[in-house]
Structure 1
Amino acid sequence: MHYAKKHFTNGWNGKWNVECEDNQERDQFDNENTAYLLGMSEGQLFCGARFIDARYPTMTDEIFYQYFNNISLPKDIPCCEITRLFLDKERRDEGNLRSLPASKALFLAMIMYCIKNGYPGMHAVTSRGMYAIFRQANWKVDMLQRGLSEKGEAVYYIFMPANQQVIEDIINKDKNSAWLRDTLSRLNNL
């Protein structure tokens, strides 16, 4: 698996209302202040995430706030928002990652991105399902507030810490911990 920081848009809509152009998501937050983390396997993109520093306009402050009671990203500490988090299960399964914890590898890459950029973690608004996936991965995320989306579905404003202890928690409880450690070693060299 290889991760790269590039500009990227994708056609995965999840459950959010997203504008698409030529079958690709794109919004006002896709700009020079945005970093993209992309996961590739056998030349195929299969996962990714979008990071925006809280010093710039974010979805939390300009869109997602309406689903909650008075939320805003911290401006007085290093902080980032993560959006467009995706894992294409079909591409993962077609490649050589079917039996491996690809989502945990993505999570490790996200954590390493934060550590290398001086963020103690990342904020996100997630669905109930994504919140459960983080918890199942043994990532002790903090649920800051529960809200309702425009579709009346539960959404969660969360903080996902990024530090060495979180990395160990994610790796140690996985039967493929050796593969995850090897992936982590490669991420450290990026």
Structure 2
Amino acid sequence: MSSFVEFLLLDYDELPSGFARELYQLRKKTFCERLDWKVDCINGLEKDRFDNENTTYLLGINEGHLLCGARFIEATQPTMIGEIFHEYFHNITLPTDIPCCEVSRLFLDKDRRDSGNLRGLPASKALFLAMIFYCMKKGYRGMYAVASRGMYAIFRRANWKIDVIQEGLSEKGEAIYYIFMPASESAIEDIISKDRASGWLREMCQQLSRL
């Protein structure tokens, strides 16, 4: 059994139907059932209008099963920050004069992680590193996102030195954060260096450098 996570980058039009269904099912499990977010779900799938030809998916696969993922959209295209999340903040916009992107629908299925061969390994950090490698490959200095208090805490525990641009309130009256997540070699080293599984993460980076 392999303890590694294989990461794939697929544009919306390249997403095989089997992967797509599994992705949208896991997103429903995460965002609708576990987090109780206000998301669009039809026929057991969580999918919205931002899942379109402008989208690139980062997918993490372990032992043939989808484990985690994230959704990227370039800042010059319609994004959740520009069309939905701006309602919960004061006058936020994505910069369009520099190369950057929005990342959303970030998830890791904890049941699959814990029931497989990744127990005790920092799979979430592997996902964060994959996100950074994607941005570096695209020439982005980082990515923008809206994060819940819980997600913000996870980023901080991972030693990812993100910038909080503005704090807002969700439709539930809960704190949310408009953040910038830098993508650089120093960000990679910050995440890896103090982790007791740093050797495993450095081996993951060898794979990620080929994304």
Instruction: Verify same fold: TM over 0.5.
Output: yes
TM-score (norm 1): 0.97
1:15 deviates by: 4.1
Q: Please tell me the root mean square deviation across aligned C-alpha atoms, in Å.
A: 0.9
Q: Give the counterpart of 2:47 among 21, 26, 29.
A: 26
Question: Which residues of structure 2 form unaligned runs of 5+?
Answer: none
1:46 deviates by: 1.2
Matched, 1:166 2:187: yes
Matched, 1:137 2:158: yes
1:121 deviates by: 0.4
Number of residue equivalences? 190
1:95 deviates by: 1.1
Query: Structure 1: which amino acid aligns with 2:8?
Result: A
1:88 is matched with which residue?
A: 109
Q: Secondary structure at the match of 1:31?
A: coil
Query: Structure 2: which amino acid aligns with 1:120?
Result: R
Instruction: Give the whole-Å Cα distance in 2 for the aligned partners of 1:163 and 1:183.
Output: 16
Q: Secondary structure at the match of 1:143?
A: strand
Where in structure 1 do 4 or more consecutive aligned residues deviate above 6 Å?
none
Moved more, 52-61 or 4-13: 4-13
Matched, 1:4 2:5: no
Query: Structure 2: which amino acid aligns with 1:74?
Result: P
Instruction: Give the whole-Å Cα distance in 2 for the aligned partners of 1:73 and 1:20.
Output: 27
Instruction: Give the whole-Å Cα distance in 2 for the aligned partners of 1:122 and 1:107.
Output: 11
Q: Secondary structure at the match of 2:118?
A: coil
1:148 deviates by: 0.3
Query: Structure 2: which amino acid aligns with 1:160?
Result: M
Instruction: Give the whole-Å Cα distance in 1 for the aligned partners of 2:73 and 2:37.
Output: 18
Matched, 1:114 2:135: yes
1:44 deviates by: 1.3
Residue identity over aligned pairs, in percent, reads 63
Matched, 1:16 2:37: yes
1:31-180 equivalence runs, <5 A:
31-180=52-201
Instruction: Give the whole-Å Cα distance in 2 for the aligned partners of 1:67 and 1:141.
Output: 20
Q: Which has the higher helix share?
A: 2
Instruction: Give the whole-Å Cα distance in 1 for the aligned partners of 2:209 and 2:173.
Output: 41
Instruction: Give the whole-Å Cα distance in 1 for the aligned partners of 2:194 and 2:147.
Output: 23
